[in-house]
Every structure is written in structure tokens, then in C-alpha cells.
Amino acid sequence: MIQTNVNDLTIQAATVNGSGSQTANLVLTRAIFHMGIPVAPKNVFPSNIEGLPTWYQLRITPEGHMARSDKVDVLIAFNVATWKEDLKTVRPGGVVIHEDAFSTADARTDVTYYPVPFAKLAKAKIQSDTLRKQLANMIYVGVVAGVLGIPWEALEHGVKRQFLAKPKAVQVNLDAIKVGFDYWQDNFSKQDHYHLEPMTGVVEGKVLVEGNQAAALGALMGGVTVVAWYPITPSSSLCEYVIAYADRFRENGDGEKKISVVQAEDELAAVGMAIGAGWAGARAMTSTSGPGISLMAEFSGLAYYAEVPVVIFDIQRIGPSTGLPTRTSQADLGFVYTLSHGDTKHLVLLPGSVEECYEFGRDAFDYSDRFQTPVFVLSDLDLGMNLWMTPAFKYPEKPFDRGKVLGKDDLEKLAGEWARYRDVDGDGVTYRTLPGTDHPAAGYFTRGSGHDESARYTEGADAYARNMDRLARKLETARHALPAPVIDEAGRKVGLIAFGSTHAAVVEARESIDVDYLRVRALPLSDDVVEFIARHEHVYVVEQNRDGQLFDLVRLALPPQLVDRVRSIRHYNGQPIPAAAIVEPLKQQEMIPA
């Protein structure tokens, strides 16, 4: 009955926030990854500095599935407050490593227990009073290593990699791991069927990167020089990575910095500074999340209407209002697309992997300069703050695209004959000059009020309508230039449409349901979406929000006869969508037996 389970399990560590458990979890993750085994970590953390429960899920699959698992194979129970509930989540036949002091009076009988006196061990074996609490977590790393067969060499690598900047910490952490490892060796014999074995074929050439790290690197490679931000979870780490990377790569030997990162007084100022910098010719960005994006609405409309380049990262969390500040969602899509009053519409990039967080984080600056408009990069907490296995990023081969900017020489050639908002090329994209351009015809007046082709104030009806029509034309030009959908199609009857971090769950779901797949990567929607739907009997739009926001946008783009083909699958509890949340409703609706 018991069958050996190799490299296919989900570990869940239930710990206390602020106790140092994240470091232990990352060491475990890196050690297993070092064995050549694919890992997919998800950190479920509270909006709290210290004391509330937190969970770390480490999913391990030989295929390299990246979506969240809804099953737990190995529970590390370290938090007495959630112990009873945590125990219920373990799959029958699973493993429970728990603090020996926790009551097992009414515990389940269908799991294997490895009770460990963590507190006593920490007290007896860890000499440093100040580090004891943190290092106690490392003891469970040692126990897990014993249970699953993680070689010592992999643990060493995990610790060294984790403490790259603090080599002094390596030995004390290894010592703590050894305490757990030895305790397991001395006190238990293997009772369960889970094993980890070194493997090859999937992780070679891959790295572990958070989406916010990737976006920060992308922004630097995209040439950002002005970053204005206001701290907010889950976007803060993006700007903090920019700061860290800029300290390393943007500083001259003499202390000069080729970037300015400003912690603004609020999100209004943050986006305002970025827009001011974009107007003056720098590549500028801000990064925020839910409440912050609401505050940026007015300025976003100004940048749209006055046609100022700026890149705005929205690392989505779940709302409305403060919502669950540390939980994920894709519910800003509709709001961001038309952010601000009036007929405002924006370019929105939708990265579906950390690699795309890097690429879109970089190319957003090109799109923004080229179309002289805000470009939103819509990531989310799951993508942004969790580590994802990814191929190493590619070095960009193309130079910056700074768009239609007239310099002094251009103006001389034109004998000063230009107008800021005149559509010379018929694509809706007009020519701009930067402040500081040494030519008497360079100056113009930028405003959020009504303006004519020469940027003069007007309340004229025709001039207003003409300008708005041109802006629509510009958006149409951009629509064809933005990243096209990725389509994987083989003439099946049913199709799936998804975007962003939902991608990981779709990839996995498609192993158990035979469907075609289109992944949207930008708004406004590509014509490919309509055509894809036209080729299928049913198309399911899968997304992580309550109201089916992409579903709505897709239906709006369709001719009436296609509207009924589209159906909606939604997941919105703050947890990253698992594959089962796609497979089950789809099978039900398509009447495929489970």
C-alpha cells in the first residue's frame, strides 16, 4: 500500500511571524534546489511585524510545477496557536514534524509523527541567548533534512547562499541544523514514504528570483534614473531592490549616483515626481499597490492627457480598501486600465512570470517613451514576493527607444515649424521637446486643461474632440506594438485565457485537461484574443478576482455572436490560485467526468 514518493511533495512550515523562520525556510529551499530538484515556494504571511501566524509552502515536483498546491505532505508545526488547524491540512499518509510539547491527545492516526523537543534542544544546544529564537528554526531544517534525506553538502550550500553577505553567520546556522539532524538520527527511524533524491534535467541553467527583484533589475536595465515611491506592501521590496542594486551598479567611484531614488511623502507625490522627471526627459518610475494606485489616479490622468512618459508598477494585493494587505489578487486590472476620470485609457503590461517581470519592467520604459503615456506594469504579490524558478534573464540587445523627441538640430532643420500635439505621422504619436533644448521654438506649455495642437489653452469643442480622437488613435497604434498574446493551440474545442501569475496554475491544469491556451500580456487587448475565441466552442477566462474583470474586457471586445462562447473561472480568496481551481470548475462545466 505504501509507495515511495520521490521528489513530489509539499512541505508546509507553520511558524510565528518575526521569529526568523523565513531564513530557515529559504535555506531549506536553496538546499533542495541545489539537489537539482524543482522548488516552488509560497510565503503566506500576515500584515504584522511579530507574533501572528505565518506559513511557508515549499512545493516540490519533478516536473517543476510553480503553482500553489492545495495539499500538504510534510507539516512542520512550530506554532502552537495554529497547531490544531494545521494538522487538519495534512494529506492522509503525510508527515508531521512538531514540537514535542504540543498536545497530541486528539490527534489524527493517519499521519506519521516526528515529535521533536525544539524548545529544549534550543535551550540546551544553542549557546547564544540573542540568536536562540532565530536559530531554533534552523533545528527544524536539520530534522526535515533527516526525514527526507537532504545531503549535508546541499545544506551547506543553502546556508552559504542565504548568508552570502554575512559569511560569519554560516557556521552558527550549520551548527543549529546539525542539532536537528543529529536528533533525528539518534531518535527516529524512517516511518514515512517521502524521499528527496538528487536529479537532473529541469533546474539546470535556472535561478531563483522574486518578481520584484526581476522588475527592479529590469527597470535598471531599462535605464530608469528617477524612482519616486512610498512604502506599501507588497511593492516596497521592488524599490528596495532598486536601491540595493543601484548602490552596487550605479555609483561612480567618487560617490556620485546615476540615479535618484526618492521616498516621497505619499503616493500622490511619488507619481508626481516620476511624471515631472518623465516630462523633463528622464526615465522615471514609481511602484505601488492597491491603496497607492487609487491615490495615483488624478496624476495618471494628467500624464495620459498631457502625454508624459512614466512607468507605474502595481504589485497587486487584494482589496477593496486596505483589504488583506499581504494576500494576492488580480483585481486592479479594470481600475488601472482606465485609471483617472474622463475618457482615460492606459497601456498595461501583464507579466506572467518573473522573466517577464524583468523584460516588461525593462521594456515599459521604451513603450512609455515611444507612446508618451503612462505604462502600467501589473504584477502581484504572488509573482512579486515569492521566489520563482526561472531561466537566467537575457542581456538586452536593443538600445533604448526614446521615441519622438526633437532636439536642437531637428528644430533647426524644421526651421522651428513644429507643434507639440500635431499628428504628423498619422499614428497619433506626436513629437515632443525636452525642457533645456536650446532653440527658441522648443518651448511649449504642458497642461492638463484643454489644449490645441500647439499646446495652447483652448475650450474649443472641435479642438477638444480632435485631440481625444488622436489619443484614441495613439492607443490603437500602441495596441499593435505591445507584447502579443502567447498562444499554445492544437485545434481543441475548448480554450483557456489567463494573464499574470495565473499562468503557473494554467500550465499545471493543462496536464489534466485538454485545452488550448492564450495568455494575454497587455492591454488594450490584441485582435488575437477575438480570433482565438472565434476558433473555439468555449473559452474560459481564468483570473484571480471576484468580478471577472478580464472576462468583461474580453466580452466587450467581441462581436455579439461570439459573446456566449466565453465563460469565467474566478479565484479570489487571497491565496495564489491552485491548478485544481481551474480543473474542477472546467470539468464540471464541460461535463467531463472527474
Partner 1 sequence: MSTTVNRVGLPRDAYKGAATTLCAGCGHNSITNHMIKALYELGVEPHLLAKMSGIGCSSKTPAYFVETAHGFNGVHGRMPALTTGAHLANRQLIMLGVSGDGDTASIGLGQFMHMIRRNVDCTYIIEDNGTYGLTKGQFSATADLGSVQKKGAVNTFQPIDPCAVALALGCSFVARSFSGDGKQVVPLLKAAIAHRGTAILDIISPCVTFNDHDGSTKSYSWVKDHEESIADVSFIPFFEEVQVDYEPGTVREVRLHDGSHIVLKKLGEDHDPTDRRAALRVIEDGRAEGHLVTGLLYVDTKMDDFVTTEHLPARPLKDLGEDDLRLSREDFAQFMSEFA
Q: Map the footprint of partner 1 across residues 272-311, applying CB under 8 A.
A: 272-282, 284, 298-299, 302, 306
Pick one of 188, 335, 444, 464: the residue that binds partner 1 (CB under 8 A).
444
What is the 3-class SS of 6-54, one letter each residue?
Answer: ECCEEEEEEEECCCCHHHHHHHHHHHHHHCCCCEEEEEECCCCCCCCEE
Nearer to partner 1 (CB atom), residue 434 or residue 580: 434
Strand partners, 412: none
Nearer to partner 1 (CB atom), residue 115 or residue 276: 276
Give the torsion through C-alpha atoms of 418, 423, 427, 428, to 10 deg. Answer: 110
Q: Which residue has the cell 555609483?
A: 251
Q: Output the smallest distance, CB 257 to partner 1, in A.
A: 5
Q: Output the smallest distance, CB 31 to partner 1, in A.
A: 13
Q: Output the smallest distance, CB 162 to partner 1, in A.
A: 12
Nearer to partner 1 (CB atom), residue 276 or residue 403: 276
Q: Which stretch binds partner 1 (CB under 8 A): 89-97, 246-254, 461-469, 518-526?
A: 246-254
Decide: helix, strand or coil at residue 96: strand
Q: Output the smallest distance, CB 159 to partner 1, in A.
A: 15
Q: Which stretch binds partner 1 (CB under 8 A): 72-80, 192-200, 254-262, 575-583?
A: 254-262
Query: Using CA atoms, how far apart are residues 250 and 229, in angstroms rounded to an integer?
Result: 18
Q: Output the smallest distance, CB 363 to partner 1, in A.
A: 13
Q: Output the smallest distance, CB 429 to partner 1, in A.
A: 20
Is the backbone peptide bond immediately before 325 cis, with ω within 30 degrees of 0?
Answer: no
Q: Does 255 bind partner 1 (CB under 8 A)?
A: yes
Written as nine digits, the cell of 231 is 512604502
Q: Does 268 bind partner 1 (CB under 8 A)?
A: yes
Pick one of 44, 136, 138, 264: the residue that binds partner 1 (CB under 8 A).
264
Pick one of 191, 400, 484, 537: the residue that binds partner 1 (CB under 8 A).
400
Pick one of 16, 40, 135, 209: the residue that binds partner 1 (CB under 8 A).
209
Which residues within the stretch 448-507 sit at the binding site for partner 1 (CB under 8 A)? 448-449, 456-457
Cβ atoms within 10 Å, residue 440:
8
- Contact predicate 102/83, CB 8 Å: yes
Phi, psi angle pair for 467, to nearest 5°? -65, -45
- Contact predicate 10/73, CB 8 Å: yes
Which residues within the stretch 212-231 sit at the binding site for partner 1 (CB under 8 A)? 213, 217, 220-221, 223-226, 228
Q: Output the smallest distance, CB 228 to partner 1, in A.
A: 7
Q: Does 383 bind partner 1 (CB under 8 A)?
A: no
Written as nine digits, the cell of 132 is 536562540
Pick one of 18, 151, 396, 403: the residue that binds partner 1 (CB under 8 A).
396
Which residues within the stretch 138-197 sit at the binding site for partner 1 (CB under 8 A)? 164
Written as nine digits, the cell of 106 is 486528539
- Contact predicate 420/432, CB 8 Å: yes
Pick one of 200, 252, 321, 561: the residue that binds partner 1 (CB under 8 A).
252
User: Cα angle at 95 between 90 and 100, to 5 degrees?
Assistant: 105
- DSSP 8-state class, residue 69: P
Which residues within the stretch 404-443 sit at the binding site for partner 1 (CB under 8 A)? 433-443
Nearer to partner 1 (CB atom), residue 131 or residue 262: 262
How many residues sit close enough to partner 1 to count as binding (CB under 8 A)?
Answer: 73
Strand partners, 195: 6
Query: Would you say the C-alpha torsion 401, 407, 412, 414 has a positive or negative sign?
Result: positive
